[in-house]
Amino acid sequence: MKIGLFFGSFNPVHIGHMALANYMLSFTDLNQVWFVVSPQNPLKEKSTLLNQNQRLEMLELAINQHPKMRVSNIEFSLPIPSYTINTLAHLNEKYKTHDFSLIIGQDNLENFHKWKNYEEILNNYKLYVYPRQGYKSTKFESHKNVVITQAPVIDISSTFIRNAIKEKKDIRFFMPHKVWEYVDEMNFYKNKNL
């Protein structure tokens, strides 16, 4: 089973995340996409990030029991800061028959040399890279384990959504419908201080 791991804070999850996951399932050889929710970063102010369980809940609503998508809270129980190499080790231990790959943006590939044990990741895992506006090609693009995809460039960010909500804009179509309802009902991101 080929699993693509899509890491992020998903604060909140939006249609860009969902479209990318859908693309990876439809246009690559991946069998499943797992959304791996990053826990609270101790270096960020707590007010800028919703509780990890609320972000997990939004993802569950977003995937809506999609048979090829899954949400993972594996990093909630790992030491912080969570390094991708450690998460991969835990997942390999837990799911011995799965073949894990990473789904990353071109921006992450550009800074990949800064990741902990990046050479080990690069040599042992496939990286499915989606394009990001304004990022140039890197030395890693020619590596045998790097797959540059032709996914559409979706220029929507969680920051844009949070700011729009603060400004009382109607952005319901930028998120999966159930996620938008949940965010609206819970009054998430409406506080000017966030």
- Displacement of CA 139 from its chain's centroid (Å): 23
**Nearest CA-CA partner of 102 in 49, 40, 145:** 145
Give 46's pLDDT tier (boundaries 50, 70, 90): low
Pair of tokens at residue 35:
């959304």
Please report, for the chain, the start and end positions of each structural domain, with discontinuous segments joined by +: 2-185
Rounded distance, CA 110 to CA 127, Å?
Answer: 13
Is the model's pLDDT at 43 over the cut of 70?
A: no
Where b means 16+ CB within 10 Å and e means fewer, 111-125 reads ebeebeeeeebbeeb
Q: Which CATH superfamily is domain 2-185 in?
A: HUPs (3.40.50.620)
Length of the chain: 194
Give 44's pLDDT tier (boundaries 50, 70, 90): low
Q: What is the pTM of this model?
A: 0.92
Pair of tokens at residue 59:
């993802």
